[in-house]
Structure 1
Amino acid sequence: MVTVAGCSGSHGGARAQGDDLDISRLLEATTYSTVLKAPLDTNSSNPGDGTVLHPKTPQPVYERPGGPPIARLPVTQLNSPAWMPVIASRAGWHQVLLPSRPNGATGWVAANDSLQVAYTPYVIKVGLSDRRLILLKSGRQVGSWKVAVGTAATPTPVGRTFLLSSLKGSKTGPSPLILPVGAHSQARDTIGGGPGTVALHGWRDRSVFGRASTHGSVAVPKKALKALSVVPLGSLVLISK
């Protein structure tokens, strides 16, 4: 993963968490959970500034700065280090996208020395109508490919999400690499035995590219998958109609 890392260095946010908060009792914000009180992303087309963060220890997530806790961030997501994109910041606080349902769920994390802050130059854009994935680095297009997207019955969800994990595919599977994102199918509760998590992945049959043929995930050509393999976790994925 290519990032430029550093620590937040702020203790003010840590005090705001409250010394008596038992975060083990909070719902863990993962791709398997639903954070009902999470505020929704209101700027879903914004490419952000590339800031991402990683909790080195489990962190409470708040509905708003100084507000009630609604969940906790784990250190890992799907066996990968947990990196979330920062979509807003204010004194002592970071607002991040969550990997949980509902799609577009967000939460606020208090800045403290247990957060590793980094930068990613990459943004991934997926256009559903033209069935195309565009990879940007530092605002410049570095790749564009026709892809397969969800069908009318199982559409790929639109909005702002992020690369959640990097998983090695099975030798007999359709893709050597699977890149789950922090969004879920709104038509199915489960995909492939999982919680309906949408992913970017390869596909052996090249005839699918340019078609609406998946259960909601985005199938990409071999060259696209290779390019995506170096994109840091936490990088934004903008899916539009």
Structure 2
Amino acid sequence: MLFDRFATRRPPGWLIAALAVPLLLVTALLVGRALTATPARQTAPPAAAPPATTAAPSPSPQESVPPAAPPPDDLPVVTYDPAPRGFPPDPDPADTRPLSEGLRPNRNVAAYDAPGGRPLAFLAPTISGVRLTVPIVERRSGWTAVLLPSANRTIAWVPAGGWTTVVLRDQILVERRTHRLTWSRDGRAMRSWPVSLGMSGQLTPLGRTFVLGRTPPPEAVYGGVDVFALGAIPDDPDSVPPGLRGAHIGLHSWHNDDALGKNVTNGCIRLTRSAQRLLLAEVEPGTAFVVVDRLP
């Protein structure tokens, strides 16, 4: 073995002593310098001069949002009538991705025009005696955006407190070009039917809305089947007949199916009585309802 050969050939003792003493002195000197030397100061590179004008940084997701200003007691309450103005537009009204969570007020909850913004109205637990559930479209720190009832393509921001959330499994999608309604559950298309839509001048409003609630048919022409009232209203309220002023856009059946696939209504969506009965049995208030011109 190499180790054995090296160990058997020892140098003379005087030579070891002669070499060991200088080596020990040199080692001690180097160690002492290392322990007492002052570390060199590191010089930072020069900072670049700031530009003449700089844009304000966008808030990070972790940045705190101003708290909600206390709402005045005399704020209007959102009812079946057109909602108060001043709320922001829906940032993506044609988004067809399912909205899977709804907000349900337990008391009058103030609705604001922005996170930390101005309170403009109250969302009440019910509208016309129907429990209110509004789909959630966005969340920020301490704030939740929902589709506003009794308005088209409009959202409201709600602070935490005074409401609970519910799961929304369904979605209803309407294409105006093809006159087609599709009901989906958990992201999967369940059924599809032809529908009649609004005539010229009273077109069915585009954008995201939701099922507000159900009501008995007001007249025999509705085929004796309950009507789904939506959160949307006519884009031009003055264009509808006087007897329909103040009404919401509805999803309902008709006494016959002769006009399916045509633009003949005052903005509502008509479908067959069997389809309406199925949706009434399956779909809950708060379900997202999207009207697009045509899917890509």
TM-score, normalised by the number of residues in structure 1:
0.86
**Rounded Cα–Cα distance in structure 2 between residues aligned with 1:193 and 1:238:** 22
Which deviates more, 183-192 or 26-35?
183-192
Alpha-carbon offset, residue 211 of structure 1: 1.1
Change (3 A) 1:38 1:117: same
C-alpha contact (below 8 Å) 2:146/2:155 kept by paired residues: yes
Q: Which moved more, 1:88-97 or 1:169-178?
A: 169-178
Structure 1 distance, partners of 2:201, 2:159, is: 40
**Aligned equivalent of 1:133:** 181
User: Residue 116 of structure 2 aligns to a residue in which SS?
Assistant: coil
1:71 equivalent in structure 2: 121
Aligned residue for 1:94, secondary structure, equals strand
1:201 to 252, 265, 282: 252
Q: Which amino acid aligns with 1:155?
A: L
- State whether residues 98 and 187 of structure 2, in contact with CA within 8 Å, keep that contact through their aligned partners in structure 1: no
Tell me how many residue pairs correspond in the alignment: 225
Q: Which residue of 2 aligns with 1:146?
A: 194
Structure 1 or 2, whichever has the larger Rg, is 2
Q: Give the equivalent residue in structure 2 for 1:179.
A: 228
Q: Structure 2: give runs of 5+ residues left out of the alignment.
A: 1-64
Between Structure 1 and Structure 2, the one with more helix by share is: 2
Of structures 1 and 2, the one with the larger relative CO (CA 8 A, separation 6+) is 1
Q: CA deviation at 1:168?
A: 1.8
Q: TM-score, normalised by structure 2?
A: 0.71
**Among 89, 92, 106, the residue aligned to 1:43:** 92
User: Alpha-carbon deviation of 1:169?
Assistant: 1.8
In the TM superposition, what whole-angstrom CA distance separates every residue of 1:172-228 from its partner, at most 9, and x where no partner exists? Answer: 351421111111112333564441410101111111111111000001111221222
CA contact (8 A) 2:168 2:287 kept: yes
Question: Structure 1: any 5+ residue segments left out of the alignment?
Answer: 1-12
Q: Which amino acid aligns with 1:62?
A: Y
Name the SS for the 1:143 alignment partner.
Answer: strand
- Corresponding residue of 2:275: 224
Higher share of residues assigned strand: 1
CA distance in structure 2 between the aligned counterparts of 1:21 and 1:170, rounded to whole angstroms: 37
Asked if 1:106 is matched to 2:155, the reply is yes
- CA deviation after TM superposition for structure 1 residue 170, in Å: 4.3
User: Does the aligned pair in 1 maintain the 2:171–2:289 contact within 8 Å?
Assistant: yes
The corresponding residue for 2:143 is: 93
CA distance in 2, matches of 1:171, 1:212: 21
AA at the equivalent of 2:210: F
